[in-house]
Amino acid sequence: MLRPKLPTMPQPTSTVTPPAVIEPTTITPGTPPPTPTAPAPAPVSARPTMQLTPGTALALVGGGTAVVLVVGAVLVSMLLAVAITAASVAVCAVVLRSLLASDAKRR
């Protein structure tokens, strides 16, 4: 009941033909390829190039600094949470150890 049913291999329904042999074709030489010419110069974009003014550069620096400070604050808070958790687990371990030791002394 718990054994899996294995599929049976289907029997071929027709005769199996061997694969056909493909003969290579001969290559006839054609016209030689044209000689490459110098590429045309790239078209000038109609869109103006973006220039950083002192105000936009200052805004970018300020934004980057804000991102770094926020990410740093998040990482420090996570580290602080781990440290507080480790300290509380250590205090619990000391309390349990003292309770078990005092219980063993009474016997």
String of DSSP letters for 23-66: PPPPPPP-PPPPPPPPPPPPPPPSSPPP---HHHHHHHHHHHHH
In the prediction, which pLDDT does 12 show? 66
> Please, which residues have CB within 8 angstroms of residue 60's CB and are 6 or more apart in sequence?
52
Which phi and psi (to 5°) does residue 61 adopt? Answer: -65, -40
pTM score of the predicted model: 0.45
Give the pLDDT of residue 46: 75
- Specify the pLDDT at position 1: 62
Exposed (0-12), middle (13-18) or buried (19+): which is 78, by Cβ within 10 Å?
exposed
What pLDDT is stored for residue 55 in this prediction?
92
**Per-10-residue mean pLDDT, the chain, length 107:** 76 72 77 73 75 90 97 98 98 94 78
